[in-house]
Structure 1
Amino acid sequence: MTKLKHERIIRGLTVRQLAYRLNLSFQYVSLLENGKRKPSFDVAQRMKEFFGIPAEELLAVNDESDPKPAA
């Protein structure tokens, strides 16, 4: 799982909600989360501003499984 997906889940967001907040299609966010696409510079900046984490870290695969959404 990428850190992007992990961070989205712990914030209690769906793919569609995150896509809306980043002004992206949900399909594109899904591709980013699954490592099938790399973000443009502009998208990387939006992700960094939203999460406060550099895009390189967000797209890295981590070993954590099934994070719990924020209450």
Structure 2
Amino acid sequence: MQEKNSKRMLDKERYVPYNKAVSLQQQSVQYRRLDMPPNKKLRHCRLNRGLTQREVAKAFNIVPDYYSMLERGVRTPGFKLAKKIADFYGYIVDDLFFAEAKNDMFSSEQKKI
């Protein structure tokens, strides 16, 4: 019996109301814009969750100054940290950090043609 109750609890945790799902999808599209720099995406994601830089840095076991540098665009995270941050905010690493690089690569390829 207890197993059924725990399964129901898991199902309730996975349930997302339609209006919230649509809102999350719209936010996802907004942050995937190729013309928005990764540091601005990071800042918007953090602010939308109502978190401070110190709280986010603590969640990833990094120094708050380093996270601040990421948000200012002074530093770029390694792949492992980028993956953790993208997962935390619910994005794919490429969409959050490397979309501009993809865009630049495609535009340089188009210039060759």
Q: TM-score, normalised by structure 1?
A: 0.73
Structure 2 unaligned spans of 5+: 1-38, 101-113
1:10 aligns with 2:48: yes
Q: TM-score, normalised by structure 2?
A: 0.48
Match runs of 1:1-40 below 5 Å:
2-40=40-78
Runs of 4+ with >2 A deviation: 54-61
Distance 1:34 1:55 in 2: 18
State the aligned residue count.
Answer: 61
**Higher helix fraction: Structure 1 or Structure 2?**
2
**What is the RMSD of the two structures over their aligned residues, measured on CA atoms?**
1.9
Distance 1:35 1:55 in 2: 16
Deviation at residue 37 of structure 1 after TM alignment: 0.5
Please say which structure displays the higher CA radius of gyration.
2
Q: Relative contact order (alpha carbons < 8 A, sep ≥ 6): 1 or 2 greater?
A: 1
Deviation at residue 56 of structure 1 after TM alignment: 4.1
Distance 1:2 1:56 in 2: 15
SS in 2 for 1:24: coil
Identity of aligned residues (%): 39
Structure 1 unaligned spans of 5+: 62-71
SS in 1 for 2:67: helix
SS in 2 for 1:23: coil
